[in-house]
Amino acid sequence: MKPVPPSRDAYGQQIRAFLERGTPVEIVERDDGFVNAGPTNASYFADLRHWSKPEQRAIRCARGRTALDVGCGAGRVALHLQARGFRVIAIDNSPLAVKTARSRGVKDARLLPFENVGTLPRGIVDTVVMFGNNFGLFGSYSRAKRLLRQMHRITRDGAVLLVQSLDPYQTDEPAHRKYQRLNRRRGRMSGQIRIRIRYQEWVGRWFDYLLVSPAEMSAIVDGTGWDVDRFFTVDNPRYTAVIRRV
């Protein structure tokens, strides 16, 4: 798995443009042609007070000395944890996101695809954070199982994963329900969406992003050396989970 080449780094381009010109909208295209434009860019830069309630609650469970921020984007989580005294390793697949995170003060931001997280040294991480829907970076059921086992190796006793996801079943949108049925027919999880980012003339690479219900998350985690400890949610399909190393 290689990092995104700069010519396909629509995500990083959009993050940098937000920083420079305040472009607020992120355009996500799904492989069935569904496009979504959300005012999400500001959220990549938000400080703790502006995070969702479930994220604010879960981040209190960060523990230990060393944290790993998966899909760090512009570095909001890494900056918060650094300020709390953590040593933070922030990884992202986007060259421009990494550059942006560094320019904002993230001390150790690395261009490292999540797929290669197992190349980090054994037993060094106490807290892993995957916020902003980044449980989705697990991509699929089987990939999640494999990567959770690798994360078990790079973490220490008592480590926690703090993750955020979106329950795909909490929607009335017919196009989403149709896409989920199609996914099930072809043996994918309902919320395994194939998407790419569009920004001006930049067209990102297609990638699989996995949205799961709390029950599905528990099933994925089961048997990988981790256990879901608790969920936080506030009347919303978005929720966070605290997952403990066993």
The only residue of 17, 61, 195, 203 in contact with a second copy, by rule CB under 8 A: 203
Burial 103-112 (b: 16+ CB within 10 A, else e): eeebeebebb
Give 101 or 211: the residue with its C-beta nearer to a second copy. Answer: 211
Find the shortest distance in angstroms from Cβ 77 to a second copy.
26
Give 35 or 215: the residue with its C-beta nearer to a second copy. Answer: 35
Q: Are 196 and 29 in contact (CB under 8 A)?
A: yes
Regarding 34 and contact with a second copy (CB under 8 A), the answer is yes
Q: Are 16 and 209 in contact (CB under 8 A)?
A: no
> What is each CA distance from 42 to 34, 206, 210, in whole angstroms?
23, 23, 22
Regarding 33 and contact with a second copy (CB under 8 A), the answer is yes
Angle at 57 between CA 51 and CA 59, to 5 degrees: 80
Q: Token pair for residue 103?
A: 């320019």
Q: Token pair for residue 126?
A: 């106490």
Tell me the window of 61-69, 144-152, 192-200, 228-236 that interacts with a second copy (CB under 8 A). 192-200
Regarding 31 and contact with a second copy (CB under 8 A), the answer is no
Give 13 or 93: the residue with its C-beta nearer to a second copy. Answer: 13
Regarding 199 and contact with a second copy (CB under 8 A), the answer is yes
Tell me the window of 29-37, 49-57, 160-168, 182-190 that interacts with a second copy (CB under 8 A). 29-37
Regarding 25 and contact with a second copy (CB under 8 A), the answer is yes
Give 82 or 180: the residue with its C-beta nearer to a second copy. Answer: 180
Give 36 or 142: the residue with its C-beta nearer to a second copy. Answer: 36
Find the shortest distance in angstroms from Cβ 81 to a second copy.
32
**Residues present in the chain in total:** 246
Regarding 182 and contact with a second copy (CB under 8 A), the answer is no
Give the Cα separation of 138 and 115 in Å (integer): 8
Q: Are 13 and 199 in contact (CB under 8 A)?
A: yes
The conformational region for residue 71 under phi > 0 = left, psi -120 to 50 = alpha, else beta, is left
Give the DSSP H/E element, type plus range, for residue 185: helix 174-185
Q: What single-letter amino acid sits at 239?
A: Y
Give the Cα separation of 93 and 84 in Å (integer): 25
The only residue of 6, 47, 60, 175 in contact with a second copy, by rule CB under 8 A: 175
Q: Token pair for residue 186?
A: 């072809």
Tell me the window of 80-88, 126-134, 157-165, 197-205 that interacts with a second copy (CB under 8 A). 197-205
Regarding 45 and contact with a second copy (CB under 8 A), the answer is no
Give the Cα separation of 187 and 63 in Å (integer): 37
The only residue of 35, 42, 215, 234 in contact with a second copy, by rule CB under 8 A: 35
The only residue of 8, 99, 198, 244 in contact with a second copy, by rule CB under 8 A: 198
What residues line the site for a second copy (CB under 8 A)? 25, 27, 32-37, 173, 175, 198-201, 203
